[in-house]
Amino acid sequence: MTPFKDIELLRINYLRGPNIWTYRPALEVWLDLGALEGHPSHQLAGFNDRLTTWLPALIEHHCGVGERGGFLQRLQEGTWCGHVLEHIVIELLNLAGMPTGFGQTRSTSQHGVYRMVFRAREEQVARSALAEGHALLMAAVNDLPFDVGAAVARVRTVVDDRYLGPSTACIVTAAADRSIPHIRLNDGNLVQLGYGAAQRRIWTAETEFTSAIAEGIASDKDLTKSLLKACGVPVPQGQVVDSPEAAWEAAQDIGLPVVVKPSDGNHGRGVTLDLRERADIEAAWHVAEPEGSDVMVERFIPGDEHRLAGRRGVELRQQLQRQGQVVGQRRVVVEDGVAVAVVEVGRPAGIELAAADELAQLVQAEDVQFGVRPLG
């Protein structure tokens, strides 16, 4: 088979505010299918099988059909590569930890030219996902090898560098759901919600009303642990170290496996888990050292991390993380202490989230913003 030429990306526009597609930020792409205009998906030999093997979660995309497996139905019936690219990009974003669901592809008056758009919370992340999705699509079309895991890792690296942290993103998403405008004020997590006299500013999960003393304590992991331990709260054994050699000595004293991380970092930067060998521990010290003022070695405790954030009597959002990556999310809507709606996005087999009614009672009682990491 003669290889198809790459789909040409004619124009890429980042739409930062309300636009003709949606009131949320989006990336709009004008693309020219070229010869692929005459070859919908069902006419490309082996294309559908390669695509669904690489991205099995495409079965969750409802597309215009409105039900699970809707996009796969469109593939079997025959759809054009501009539409396929839209779903590939969305799935790569989902896999990279920046879930999105909105996307549209429309033909233009020019033969073979389409306008494709998808929701994009951050421009550089969206551009990275588009580039990786474009490469994946052409590999599937021309029956070439493609490393999906490496592509997702590259997008995830941009997410880690550019996107809001999980706590800030949760608050911003809740604001967007209520049509509250937000402005990112720096490259970090400083965000303005609303305008004028009604505006509020948040930084990570803090507001202008957050205690400066509490913030200072929470940002120092070693101090936080010592205060929690003094109250009888179980904490992992650990200590601050000043060199790779000291990190190995500490790991032997604490007992393997261990975690090496900065004492005052965030977003999981510089954290290396489940270390058992001297070379790995010393290398992890060099990874952690630039990310904070000190480096800590702690006992590694396996388990899944559950993050909860809620508004009293209204809703609670639950996020499940494994090895530092988001693997499942849930939104529980509460009325009179009862869960009336539960929306889940992905959950690994064998992992049970807390019962929705229990979460409803929790959020009915108080505003919640904390993390729970089960031991064992």
Full pLDDT tens readout for the chain, 376 residues? 688 999 999 999 999 878 999 888 899 999 999 999 999 999 999 999 999 999 999 999 989 888 889 999 999 999 999 999 999 999 999 999 888 889 999 999 999 999 999 998 889 999 999 999 999 999 999 999 999 999 999 999 998 888 777 778 778 878 887 888 888 888 778 999 988 888 999 987 788 888 889 888 888 888 999 999 999 999 999 999 999 999 999 999 999 999 999 988 776 789 999 999 999 999 999 999 999 889 999 999 887 776 666 665 556 666 666 665 666 666 666 666 554 455 454 544 444 545 555 555 544 444 444 333 333 3
Tokens matching residue 217:
């304590």
Distance CA 16, CA 283 (A): 40
Write out the two tokens for 274. Answer: 């489940």
Cα(355)–Cα(202) distance, rounded to whole angstroms?
30
User: Could you report the per-residue pLDDT of 252-300, keeping only the tens digit for each?
Assistant: 999 999 999 998 877 678 999 999 999 999 999 999 999 988 999 999 9
pLDDT 10s digits, 30-80? 999 999 999 999 999 999 999 999 999 999 998 988 888 999 999 999 999
| Residue ranges of domains in the chain, CATH in brackets | 8-162 (no CATH), 166-210 (no CATH), 216-299 (3.30.1490.20), 305-372 (no CATH)
Q: What is the three-class DSSP state of 161?
A: helix
- Burial class from Cβ neighbours inside 10 Å (0-12, 13-18, 19+) for residue 45 reads exposed
Q: How far is CA 278 from CA 244, 247, 253, 263, in A?
A: 9, 9, 13, 20
Report the distance separating Cα 124 and Cα 155, nearest Å: 9
